[in-house]
Structure 1
Amino acid sequence: MRWLIGFVVLSAVLFLGWMLPLVLIDSLPLDARERAGLPGRFAQLSQGQTYYRIRGNSEGVPLVLVHGFSTPGNLVWGPLLGQLDLEQYHVLEMDLFGRGFSDRPELDYQARVFQLQLSDLLSETGFDAAPFVLVGYSMGGPIVTQYAADNPDQIRRLITIAPAGYPLPSTRTGELVRLPVVGLWLFHLLGPENLEAGIALDVEQGTVDFGLLHQFRRQTLYSDTLDALHSTLMHYPLNNQRQHFRQVGAQSYPVGVIWGLLDEFTPYHNSAKLMEDIPRAELCTIEGNHGIIMNKPVEMAQCLESLLNDAPPPDDAGAWVY
């Protein structure tokens, strides 16, 4: 009998150890209190509520911004927008589902989820009434590229920043969190530290304010955030979207690309593949890593405005380098 009691106790301890990361790590409710007083708005779309913000001049160049895998739009675009004269632009930024202040619907986070969210929000805000500049960072790169490929008449210009969609480096952690059965548990255990590592390093080096890291940590704690991010890893083809870039290559609107020469997540050498798929694309290179969107805002603004204004490249290679 003692061995049976011991077995039950040990099993209970192991079970609790298994469940605690799933229960405690993202247990902060995303309720009305958390959403109160925000500078943006909420749209009730077909799959759930989306947090978005409109800035700038309604008569300016329409810019639609789509963020990447984990850092939501309410955080990632601030440093860049702080360098732009917003009187010249009409900016729409959003939090993708499962991130920031938007809902975490219970579904598989496939490509069609983000395509529908973007389409719904453009319709809700009226940004699809005339052609607009569509900008995507990291995972947002293939999201906006697919949207542009499917809706070319809506696109005034397409700009991708360090886009995913091409082969990405494999990591041991990435392999572990994709394992069946234990992958989600491991993601809850290992994910938070890995997700914030880049921002934490920027803070340590003094290129990003600690307040941004604090907000990122808090928003990662919202209930079901890690489940949504893990579902994206499992269901969204982060490293296999080349067909959409090739579709864009057969279309005619201007295309710009901004990439960090030292990018460790979406390697710079993928820019050659993108330029092969979209020969008319113009490339602006920044001496920086994957976090250029936040830690190189001055250079980002220079790149963006060079592309938007069709400024001639300063070198014979047909590219800008900052």
Structure 2
Amino acid sequence: MDPVKKSIVLCSAVFKGFSKPGFRSIPIGELEKKYANENSRFLEINGARVHFREEGNGPPLLLLHGAMASLHTWDGWADALRESFRIIRVDLPGNGLTGPVPGFAHTEQGLLDFLETFVDAMALDRFYLAGNSLGGFMAWNYAVQHPDKVKKLILIAPAGYPQEPPDVIKRVSLPVVGGIARVWAPRFMIAANVRSAYGNPDLVSESVVDRYHELLLRPGNRTAMVAIFRAMNEKARGFDPGEKIKQISVPVLLMWGERDRWVPPAHVEKWKNDVSDLQVITYPGAGHVPMEELPGETAGDVSRFLCE
């Protein structure tokens, strides 16, 4: 083929590619129509509309999702626990319907600062706190800093101890790949990442993939994802929190899927060594998000722990 024609064909392919779903952003209003519901609330923080849901009656239980996720990861728990607890779950900055929140960096410390602001805005005094993955990291750090506020702590495959980061985090942390990921998030890649988080990938429905993918296409969320993954990649190998984890003074329920490919189940032993008041439950067939894979079973375990 003539070089000029070849260049025209290649350029045409690129521009056509930019019209594909992986490159587009989905308007916030369109996403809210699909992913907000009658329990959704929006709290203004630093000019941003922070999406959260509040359901049920009883002692408050605050739920924190992991990176690249949303409050919808807790749907099963909310359904099972709202008869006994006041369930509060929030889309963290750079995720879900919330998107970026000015004044809070997309780092672990920035997310912790946001959590303090959110807890204060919700006027939560004493409450139960649960978190998965990055949300687990936020939860145990908050409990160390505020033992007077956290009654009990539930950690689901929490980030913490040094590890080899998951492949997707390592790839997105590369300058070129990260630059591409800020603008391109094809559905097939998101589907692969979600399936890798499940112990049984066959449990991942098309609607679950759609949710993860479409919320990532909210304006600002892809850039936030890159920043969060880079911060996690930097800290994963060079940060040993053992002494800080030993400062956890509240009762802890540690939950882990034995087929977790994101945070090693072997870390359970480290938690046993460093936390005195600890209960552990592992799930043989589950992966990194057992509350999604086994919502009824895991919610039952949580209810028993909180009611002890």
TM-score class, shorter-chain normalisation, is 0.7 to 0.9
Alpha-carbon separation, structure 2, partners of 1:125 and 1:232: 25
8 Å Cα contact 2:161-2:241 kept in structure 1: no
Match of 1:180 among 175, 179, 198: 175
1:98 counterpart = 2:77: no
Judge which range, 166-175 or 98-107, deviates more: 166-175
Match of 1:162 among 157, 160, 171: 157
1:115 counterpart = 2:112: yes
1:126 is aligned to: 123
1:305 is aligned to: 303
Q: Using the TM superposition, give the Cα deviation of residue 251 of structure 1 relative to its aligned residue in structure 2, in angstroms.
A: 4.2
1:313 is aligned to: none
Match of 1:257 among 251, 254, 272: 254
Bigger Rg, which one? 1
Quote the sequence identity (%): 22
Q: Deviations over 1:198-256 (max 9, x none)?
A: 64586996645543333222212222222111110112456369665643423432111
Q: Using the TM superposition, give the Cα deviation of residue 173 of structure 1 relative to its aligned residue in structure 2, in angstroms.
A: 4.5
**3-state SS of 2:291 partner:** helix
Alpha-carbon separation, structure 2, partners of 1:191 and 1:24: 4
TM-score scaled by length of structure 2: 0.83
1:216 is aligned to: 212
State the AA in 2 paired with 1:95: D
**3-state SS of 2:68 partner:** coil
2:61 is aligned to: 63
Alpha-carbon separation, structure 1, partners of 2:251 and 2:47: 31
8 Å Cα contact 2:253-2:305 kept in structure 1: yes
2:274 is aligned to: 277
**3-state SS of 2:155 partner:** strand
2:46 is aligned to: 46
Matches within 5 A, 1:183-198: 183-186=178-181, 189=184, 192-197=187-192
1:141 is aligned to: 136
**3-state SS of 1:109 partner:** coil
8 Å Cα contact 1:166-1:241 kept in structure 2: no
8 Å Cα contact 2:51-2:97 kept in structure 1: yes
**3-state SS of 2:253 partner:** strand
Q: Deviations over 1:10-66 (max 9, x none)?
A: 7x939957x9499952411213x5435633111111373210111111xx1210100
Q: Using the TM superposition, give the Cα deviation of residue 308 of structure 1 relative to its aligned residue in structure 2, in angstroms.
A: 1.3
Alpha-carbon separation, structure 2, partners of 1:244 and 1:119: 20
Q: Using the TM superposition, give the Cα deviation of residue 187 of structure 1 relative to its aligned residue in structure 2, in angstroms.
A: 6.5
Distance 1:179 1:207, change over 3 A: closer
TM-score scaled by length of structure 1: 0.79
Judge which range, 88-97 or 188-197, deviates more: 188-197
Distance 1:245 1:294, change over 3 A: farther
Judge which range, 176-185 or 256-265, deviates more: 176-185
Alpha-carbon separation, structure 1, partners of 2:220 and 2:51: 16
1:226 counterpart = 2:225: no
Alpha-carbon separation, structure 2, partners of 1:290 and 1:309: 25
Matches within 5 A, 1:3-14: 6=4, 13=11
8 Å Cα contact 2:163-2:237 kept in structure 1: no
8 Å Cα contact 2:73-2:292 kept in structure 1: yes
Q: Unpaired runs of 5+ in structure 1?
A: 311-322
8 Å Cα contact 1:199-1:208 kept in structure 2: yes
1:151 is aligned to: 146
Distance 1:55 1:171, change over 3 A: closer
Distance 1:88 1:161, change over 3 A: same
Alpha-carbon separation, structure 2, partners of 1:92 and 1:47: 21
Q: Unpaired runs of 5+ in structure 2?
A: none
Match of 1:296 among 284, 294, 297: 294
